[in-house]
Amino acid sequence: MTRARIILIAVGVLGLGVGALTMVNDVEFSQIIGVGIWIVGAIVIHDAILSPILLGIDVLMRRSGRRVSLGVIVIIQVGIVVGAIMSLLVVPEIYATTLGTQNETVLPLDYGLHLALYWLATAALTAAACLVYLRIMRRRLRA
């Protein structure tokens, strides 16, 4: 395993070196600063903003766990995650359509409408999954 670790870390250092060299050769210094700012920004947005929000939602939902079955809570959480991740991809896209595109074949669809339909379908499927889950649990209790 020691050999495997040495190889992995050596490959890693080589990769970092090639990346840094490529960056220095191909990208202007002021732009490299911009890359650094974006990397730090990404960490801050993820670690300090998005994650605590998610954690808060998680905690709030589990507090209702005293009254609602955990299976139902988890199914609802799955639905929220499935909708939220798609929104993360599509909301910037909707914004980009408002900036105007190079030609009409870029961003040609009605993304806002599609996202609304997607949330509706996700909500409907989540509700259906909860009902199925509760029915199964009830049957199991009776058995």
Partner 1 sequence: MRFPTFPSQLYQFTQGLHITAGIACFPLILGKLYTVYPQLFQTPPIRGFGHMLARASIALFVGSSLVQLAIGLLNTYQWYPFPFNFKQVHYALAFVIIGSLAIHIGVKLPLIQRYWRRNSEATVELLGRDSNDLLDPVPESGSSPAPEVVGGFTGRLFRWIDGTPQAERGVSRRGFFAAIGVSTVAVVTFTAGQSFAVFKPFNLFAPRAKDIGPQGLPINRTAEAAQVTETAVSADWVLSVIAGGATTTFTRAELLRLPQTAVSLPIACVEGWSQLADWKGVRMRDLLAAAGAPSDQRLMVQSLEKEGGYRTTEMGAEYVGDDLTLVALELNGSTLDIQHGYPARIIAPGRPGVLQTKWLSSLEVSA
**Chain residues 68-127 in contact with partner 1, contact rule CB under 8 A:** 70-71, 74-75, 77-78, 81-82, 85-86, 88-90, 92-93, 95-96, 99, 101-109, 111, 114-115, 117-118
Nearest distance from residue 113's CB to partner 1, in Å? 9
Residue 130 engages partner 1 in binding (rule: CB under 8 A): no
Nearest distance from residue 10's CB to partner 1, in Å? 8
What phi and psi values does residue 101 have, to the nearest 5 degrees? -120, 165
Residue 13 engages partner 1 in binding (rule: CB under 8 A): yes
Q: Are 137 and 98 in contact (CB under 8 A)?
A: no
Residue 136 engages partner 1 in binding (rule: CB under 8 A): no
One DSSP character per residue, 87-132 reads HHHHHHHHHHHHT--SSTTSS-S-HHHHHHHHHHHHHHHHHHHHHH
Residue type, 107: L
